[in-house]
A and B are shown apart, each in its own frame.
Chain A
Amino acid sequence: MAAMKTLAHFCLPLFLLLMLPVPSIAQNAPVRIVSMNVCTDQLLLLLVDKSRIASLSYFAANPAFSNLADLAKEVPANRGQAGEVMVLEPDLVLTSAFSASFSTSVLQRLQQHVERLGFAATREEVFAQIVQVAAWTGSSAKAIAMIRAARTRIADASKQIQPFVAGKKAVFLSSNGVAFGAGTLQDDFLHSLGMRNIAAEAGLNGPAPLPLELLLAAAPDYVISEPRGALDQQLAHPLLQHPALQHLHAHSLALPERWFDCSGPWLAEAYVSMAKQVRSSR
C-alpha cells in the first residue's frame, strides 16, 4: 500500500506534465520573463537560465525571504509596478495570486501574458507548483529531476526521525505570536511526520495568533521558529523569550520560514534540518 502511494506521488507530476501543453525551449518558450513575486522569483531562478530572466522582485536578493538570494543579485530588480514591467517588454509575467493585484490587473488589461501562482498548503501542492512553473517556462525535465531528488531526501529524513517524533506535539511560532494552524504547509509538514500540530488542535485556521495561555496549556514537545538573528529588530521578538515559555521544557527547533513560504526543493531542507536537530536534541 505504501509502495503504491509512493508510486502515485512519483507519477502524479509526470502525469500532469503529459496533460499540459509543453512548449519546447527551442520553439515558443518565453525568453523575456519577469517575476513580480518572491516565490515565482525563486522558481524561475531554479528552472530557467538567467539569460531568459528580464527582472525579479526586489525581495529575490534578500536572504531573509529568498533561498536563492546570491543567484538573484545579478538580475535587475523590480518593485512590482506595472510601468517598470511594461518597459521590459516581457513575453511572460509571473506573479502570485495574492500580491500586487493592481499591477497585475493593469498588465492584463494591457494584453500582457500574466500567469499567477496560487497557494501551496501541502507537500504535493508544492511539487505541483514547481511542475506548473516548469510548464509555463518550458523546463519540465529540470523540474522532474528536482522533485525526484527532493522526494528522496524527504523520505530518508522522515524515516530517520518518524519513530522518535510520531505522536509528539509541536507548534510553529512566527512573529507577533502567530502560529500556523490547519491548512498551512507547516501543518502538513508536522502531520507528514506523524506529529500533532497544537495550533490546529486549538482551532486555528491558517496563520493566526495563538494566545500564550493556550500555548502553555497545550504543552508542546517542540517549539519551532525562525533561527535567532533573523528575529532581531522585531517587536515580535520578545514573545519567544517570554519567561513563561522557559517552563515548558519544550525542545526549541529552528527552521527558517522561507523554506515554507514559497514552493521549492528547499522543503526537503526543512525535513533534513528537522531530522538533524531532533537527533541532536535527544
Chain B
Amino acid sequence: MKLSSLLLILVAVLWLIELSSGVSGISISVALADWWHGHNSVARIILFEVRLPRACLALMAGAALAISGAALQGLLRNPLASPDILGVSQTAALAAVCVLYFGFSQLAWFVLPLAALSGAALAVVFLLQLTRRLASTQSLILAGIALTALTSALITFALNYAPNPYALQEVYFWMLGSVANRSLAEVWLALPFFVIGTALLLSSHRCLDALSLGEDTAATLGFPLSHYRWRLIVGVACNVGAAVAVSGSIGFVGLIVPHVLRPLVKGQPGQLLWWSLPGGSALVLLADVIVQHLPGTQELQLGVLTALLGGPFFLWLLLRQRS
C-alpha cells in the first residue's frame, strides 16, 4: 500500500515538473490565470496545446511500454523479454512506416495505430511460436535480435521506394522516439488502444501468476491457456501499437521498469502489471524532463536517453543471468 502511494506521488510530481519544463519560460500560474479569465494568451496556448499533450503522451507511452514488458516477461517466462528487445516495437514501426509513407494513414484516423498494433501482434505471435522450439531464454533473445535486424532492413527497404526522398532521415529521427511537438489529437488517437490493451492485460493477471508455476500447472489450475494467451497478445499489441504510433520507439522502458519493481512485489507477475503502469510513466516523464533541461540548441530525442540508461542495464542483466 505504501509503495503504491509513493509511486503515484512520484508520477504526479514528475508530471507537474514536465508541465513546467520548456524552452519558452512561460509561467504556469499566468497560464492558469489566463485560462480562468478566458484570455487566449500565448502562455495559455503553450501550456494547454503544447505541454499538456506532451506530458500526457509521456505518461501514457511509459505506462503502455512498461506493462507490455511486464506482460511479455510473464507470458514468455523470460526475464529478458521486452517489446523493443524482442523486435515487437520495430515490427509495429515497420507497419506504421508503411502506412505513413504510402499514404494509407490519411484514409482514416485509426489506420496508423491499427497498423502498428497489427505489426506488434504479428511479432508476438511469431515469438510465441518460436518459444515452442527454442528452449533457452537466450535463444529467444537472439531470435528477437534477428527480428529487429530484419524489420530494420525492411523499413529501409520500404523507404527506398517511398515517394519522399527525405523519408529515411525523418524516420531515423522518429524511430529514436520522442513526445515533443505533439498535440491532443495524438493523445485521443492512442488513448482508446491504451485503455483496451491495459484492460486486457490487467484482467489476465491471475493467469500470469499461475503461468509462473509452469504451463501444465496453470492448466490444471483451470486457466484456459490458449484463451489467455490471445488476450495477452492482443493486450500487448494494443499497448505497443498505441505507443509506437504516437511516439516512435522509446526503447528499454519495458525492460527496466518491471525489473526494478519485481523485488518490490515479491516476484508476483500479476501484481507487477499494476505497478508497471506508474513505474513506466515515472521513467518516461523523468527522461523527458531531463532531455528538456540538457544544454544544447537541439533537443535530444527521448529514446536516446532511455537507451543510454537501458543499454548498460541490459548488459548488467545478462551478466547476472550468467552467474
> Which residues of A line the B interface, CB within 8 A?
59, 62, 64-65, 175-177, 203-205, 208-209, 211-214, 216-217, 219, 232-236, 238-239, 242-244, 247
A65 contacts across to B, CB distance below 8 A: 165
CB distance from B160 to the nearest CB of A (A): 12
Which of B146-154, B178-186, B205-213, B275-283 lies at the interface? B178-186
- Can you list 28 A-B pairs with a CB-CB distance of less than 8 A? A64-B164, A176-B173, A177-B181, A205-B297, A208-B298, A209-B298, A209-B299, A211-B22, A211-B299, A212-B180, A213-B22, A213-B46, A216-B50, A217-B26, A217-B42, A232-B103, A233-B101, A233-B102, A233-B164, A234-B167, A235-B170, A236-B170, A243-B185, A244-B46, A244-B49, A244-B183, A247-B40, A247-B49
Judge whether B128 is part of the interface by a CB distance below 8 angstroms. Answer: no
Interface string of B222-247 (1 = CB under 8 A from A): 00000000000000000000000000
* A232-B106 contact, Cβ under 8 Å, with A219-B42, A242-B183: yes
Judge whether B45 is part of the interface by a CB distance below 8 angstroms. Answer: yes
Judge whether B171 is part of the interface by a CB distance below 8 angstroms. Answer: yes
CB distance from B80 to the nearest CB of A (A): 31
Judge whether B170 and A244 touch: CB under 8 Å: no
CA distance A8 to B32 in the complex (A): 56
> Which residues of B line the A interface, CB within 8 A?
22-24, 26, 40, 42, 45-46, 49-51, 100-103, 106, 162-167, 170-171, 173-174, 180-181, 183-185, 297-299
Judge whether A217 and B297 touch: CB under 8 Å: no
* A233-B100 contact, Cβ under 8 Å, with A243-B185, A244-B46: yes
Judge whether A233 and B42 touch: CB under 8 Å: no
Judge whether A212 and B181 touch: CB under 8 Å: yes
Taking CB as reference atom, which chain B residue is nearest A247?
Answer: B45
Judge whether B50 and A244 touch: CB under 8 Å: yes
Judge whether B298 and A243 touch: CB under 8 Å: no
* A214-B166 contact, Cβ under 8 Å, with A232-B103, A242-B49, A243-B184: no
Judge whether A175 and B166 touch: CB under 8 Å: yes
Taking CB as reference atom, which chain B residue is nearest A203?
Answer: B297
Judge whether A216 and B46 touch: CB under 8 Å: yes
CA distance A102 to B95 in the complex (A): 33
CA distance A3 to B163 in the complex (A): 47
Judge whether A216 and B298 touch: CB under 8 Å: no
Nearest 7 A-B pairs (CB), nearest first?
A244-B49, A213-B24, A217-B24, A211-B23, A212-B181, A247-B45, A235-B170
